[in-house]
């Protein structure tokens, strides 16, 4: 078994981005990458939706779209993993190249377009992983096919099939890479979809917590309405936030003009702002997962103090490798102790 050192992570970054990603998934799938992290202390343990999290740090959706490397990913020390996005039917996604490193900015741009093997393959992969045992809660992120005639029914199809295998399910209505998808995350379109989802969950043999992932561009009255709808239809929580179509003037990398969703360091401040706003709008009644630009223990702790019950990483993990997991978990434990908190839940929303 190989520990992916800084040198190894740097070697992967010498390859084209999507090639490096596929290679890393293959290594994880065959348990050829391990991390030297320590077991999270009890102060980081929490319980949410009846699930036990040994750490509030998870892996965001998009890394393991087909659920092929779940057990290897848990071995790195994540407290939970969100797999997907999965769509009912296989689709190739957008033409390559569609993933771009903005190294000077600590960022990525992707326009993958929900590429994946589809619901049947994904379900088989997760079922096999479940049978062998998973080390933490598993979230599954679901989407709609690009050419679907009825996107709401795509979400219903995925929800029904995956509810027995998921610890929570996330509705991805906020990817910028499927034309028209973001229109579902606000207004009457969102209300109709959430009503359909609520009816579906009510009819499940095993009810599953249902979350909604929002785009950072959602703001003002539209954001308020989306939060109200989430409360009205009793969603289990919100994930804040997806990648952004914005291009800050501060971007320096040559790929800054590529189309797609921007993630990483430039998203940190907007995602934090959104977390603060939504925590206030929901009056702390909705559990929130913070994602976007988290690349250090300070980033994670600030997001938790702003209202996040859990946090996820993606781009920081791509650049820093598995060592970031232990850096964040050990750093969170130190910050909790320094601020006099006995466990992580006490710190949620305590920002002053």
Catalytic residues: 175
CA angle, corner 247, sides to 245 and 252, nearest 5?
Answer: 140
Using DSSP bridges, classify how beta strands 57-59 and 80-86 pair: parallel, antiparallel or unpaired: parallel
- Over its C-alpha atoms, the chain yields an Rg (Å, rounded) of 19
Q: Is 119 helix (H, G, I), strand (E, B) or coil?
A: helix
Give the number of other CB atoms < 10 A from CB of residue 273.
15
C-alpha pair distances (Å), 288 with each of 17, 64, 66, 338: 30, 22, 25, 24
Structure tokens at 215: 């785009």
DSSP alpha helix (H) spans, the chain? 6-12, 17-29, 70-74, 119-132, 151-162, 187-202, 220-232, 268-281, 297-305, 315-320, 323-338
- Please identify which residue in the block is written with the tokens 């407290």: 79
100 sits in which H/E element: strand 99-102
Please provide the distance, in angstroms rounded to a whole number, between the alpha carbons at the two ends of the chain: 45
In sequence order, what are the residues at sequence separation of 6 or more whose Cβ sits closer than 8 angstroms to the Cβ of residue 136? 53, 54, 74, 78, 79, 80, 81
What is the SS3 string spanning 55-97?
A: CCEEECCCCCCCCCCHHHHHCCCCCEEEEEEECCCCECCCCCC
Greatest alpha-carbon span in the chain: 54
Structure tokens at 227: 């939060």
Burial class (CB in 10 A: 0-12, 13-18, 19+), 191: middle
């Amino acid at each position: 078994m190989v520990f992916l050192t800084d040198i190894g992570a740097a070697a992967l970054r010498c390859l084209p981005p999507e090639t490096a990603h596929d290679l890393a998934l293959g290594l994880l799938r065959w348990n050829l990458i391990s991390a030297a992290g320590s077991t999270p202390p009890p102060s980081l343990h929490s319980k949410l939706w009846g699930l036990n999290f040994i750490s509030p740090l998870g892996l965001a959706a998009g890394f393991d779209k087909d659920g092929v490397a779940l057990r290897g990913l848990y071995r790195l020390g994540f407290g939970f993993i969100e797999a997907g996005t999965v769509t009912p039917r296989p689709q190739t996604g957008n033409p390559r190249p569609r993933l771009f490193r903005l190294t000077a900015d600590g960022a990525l741009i992707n326009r993958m377009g929900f590429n994946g093997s589809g619901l049947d393959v994904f379900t088989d992969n997760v079922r096999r992983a479940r049978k062998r045992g998973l080390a933490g809660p598993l979230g599954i992120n679901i989407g709609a096919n690009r050419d679907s005639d009825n996107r709401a029914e795509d979400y219903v199809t995925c929800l029904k099939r995956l509810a027995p295998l998921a610890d929570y399910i996330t509705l991805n209505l906020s990817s910028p890479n499927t034309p028209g998808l973001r229109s579902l995350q606000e207004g009457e379109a969102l209300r109709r979809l959430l009503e359909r989802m609520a009816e579906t969950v009510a009819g499940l043999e095993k009810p599953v917590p249902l979350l909604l992932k929002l785009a950072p561009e959602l703001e003002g009255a539209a954001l308020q309405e989306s939060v109200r709808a989430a409360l009205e239809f009793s969603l289990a929580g919100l994930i804040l936030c997806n990648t952004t179509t914005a291009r800050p003037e501060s971007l320096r990398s040559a790929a800054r003009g590529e189309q797609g969703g921007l993630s990483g360091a430039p998203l940190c401040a907007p995602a934090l702002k959104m977390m603060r706003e939504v925590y206030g709008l929901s009056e702390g009644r909705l559990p929130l997962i913070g994602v976007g630009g988290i690349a250090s223990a300070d980033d994670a702790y600030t997001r938790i103090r702003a209202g996040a019950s859990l946090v996820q990483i993606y781009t920081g993990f791509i650049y820093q490798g598995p060592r970031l997991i232990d850096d964040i978990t050990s750093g969170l434990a130190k910050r909790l102790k320094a601020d006099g908190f006995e466990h992580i839940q006490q710190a949620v929303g305590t920002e002053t």
